[in-house]
Amino acid sequence: MSPDFIIAAIITVVGLSTPILLAGLGELVVEKSGVLNLGVEGMMLVGAISGFAVTVYTFNPWFGVLGAAAGGALASLIFAVLVLQLNSNQVATGLALTIFGTGISSLMGLSFTGRIVMPFTSVFPDVLAKHDYLRLIFGYSPLVYFALIMVPLTTWFLKSTRAGLILRAVGENDLSAHSIGYSVIKVRYAAIAFGGAMAGIGGCYFSMVITPMWAEKMTAGRGWIALALVVFAGWRTGRLFAGAYFFGILMALELYAKASGFSFLPSQFWAAMPYAMTVIALSFISSRGTAGANAPACLGKPFLPST
C-alpha cells in the first residue's frame, strides 16, 4: 500500500465521519439538557437545502454554512415549542420533525434540483491543500476543522463552564434546577437550537462539500447514525469523536473490502455495524454497572413543575 493510497482512504473516512460528528455533537448537548430529539435526520436535510440555497444566491459558502445552521436551528425550534411549551411526547415529536424536515426540504429544494455550486473545499493554498502528503492535514473543507475544534470546545463548555454546569443540572434533575431559580425551559431552548444548528451544518456537508448539489433525501439515513452515535459514546464528547471516526472507518472498510473483491461478509452485515456496535457498547457499559451514569436522568421526560 502506497502512501497515496492510504492518504486517499483517510480522506474518504474523514468525509464519512465529519457529518455524523457534527450532528452527533449537537445531539449530545441536546440530550445532556434532558431532551431527546429524534429529528436529526430532518434537521440535517433542512440544513442541507438551506446551506445549498444560500450558497446559490450569495456565491459564498461561508454564508451557506450560516444558512444551514439557521435552517437547522429554525427546524429544531418547531420541535422545541411543541415539547417545551406544549409538553408533547418527545419521541413522537422528534419522529414528526424528521418527517417534516424531509418534506419541507424537498419542497424548498424544488427549484434547486439540477443546479450545482462550487464545492466548499480547503481554503489553504494549493501548495498545501493539494500537496502529496500535506493534503492529509490541509486538504479538507473548513467544516472538517470546525467539527474537530467543536469536540474540545463542547467538552470544555459542558465540564468547565457555569453555563455547561447549569445545562447538565437541567438534564439531570430539572425540578431541582428549577427550584433554585434556573429557567429549565430557556436552557432547553438554547440546547435544542444548538443541536439544530449543528445538525444543519452536518447536513450541508453533504450538499456543499461531498456532492455540491441538492437531491431529495440526500442524507440517506445519516441522522439516525448520528443518534446511535450519541448512545454509543455514552454521552461523552471524547468517545463521540472516536465513535464518529470508528463508524466512518467501518463504512469505508465495507467499500474497500467489496471493491477489492472480498466477499467474506455480506454487505448487510457492514450496513448494520454502526447499530450493532451501539448495542454492544450499551451492553458493555451496562455490564460494568455504570449504566445511566452518563445518560442524563431527565432524558426524554417532560418538564412539569408543580407550581
Partner 1 sequence: MTMISRRTLFKGAGAATLATLASPAFAEDKVKVGFIFLGPIGDYGWTWAHNKGREALVSELGDKIETIYVENVAEDASAIPVLRDLAQQGCKLIFTTSFGYMDQTLEVAAEFPDVKFEHCTGYKRADNVATYNSRFHEGRAVLGTIAGKMSKTGVLGYLGSFKIPEVVLGVNSFALSAQKQNPAAIVKVLMIDSWFDPPKEAAATETLINLGCDLVTTHTDSPAPLQILEQKGLFGFGQGADMSAFAPNAHLTAIEDIWGPYYIDRAKAILEGTWTSTDTWDGMVDGEVVISPYSAAVTADAAAAADIVKAGYMDGSFNIFTGPIYDQDGVERVKAGEVMGLGDLAVMDWFVKGVESAA
Which residues contact partner 1 by CB under 8 A? 5, 8-9, 11-12, 15-16, 19, 98-100, 102-104, 106-107, 109-110, 113-116, 119, 121, 206, 210-213, 215-222, 251-252, 255-263, 267-268, 271
Q: Which of residues 11 and 291 has its CB atom nearest to partner 1 in the complex?
A: 11
Q: Which of residues 263 and 307 has its CB atom nearest to partner 1 in the complex?
A: 263
Cα first-last separation, the chain: 66
Cα–Cα dist 15/144, whole Å: 8
Q: Which of residues 266 and 289 has its CB atom nearest to partner 1 in the complex?
A: 266
| Joined grid coordinates for residue 92 | 413522537
Question: C-beta of 58: minimal distance to partner 1 in Å?
Answer: 20
Query: Residue 138 — φ and ψ, nearest 5°?
Result: -105, 0
Cα–Cα dist 300/296, whole Å: 9
- How buried is residue 63: exposed, middle or buried, by Cβ count under 10 Å (0-12/13-18/19+)? middle
Question: C-beta of 209: minimal distance to partner 1 in Å?
Answer: 10
Question: C-beta of 48: minimal distance to partner 1 in Å?
Answer: 10
Q: Which residues pair with 80 in a beta bridge?
A: none
Question: C-beta of 256: minimal distance to partner 1 in Å?
Answer: 6
Question: C-beta of 249: minimal distance to partner 1 in Å?
Answer: 12
Q: Which of residues 139 and 234 has its CB atom nearest to partner 1 in the complex?
A: 139
Q: Which of residues 79 and 194 has its CB atom nearest to partner 1 in the complex?
A: 79
Asked if residue 260 lies in contact with residue 202, where contact means CB atoms within 8 angstroms, the answer is no
Cα–Cα dist 258/48, whole Å: 29
Cα–Cα dist 205/294, whole Å: 29
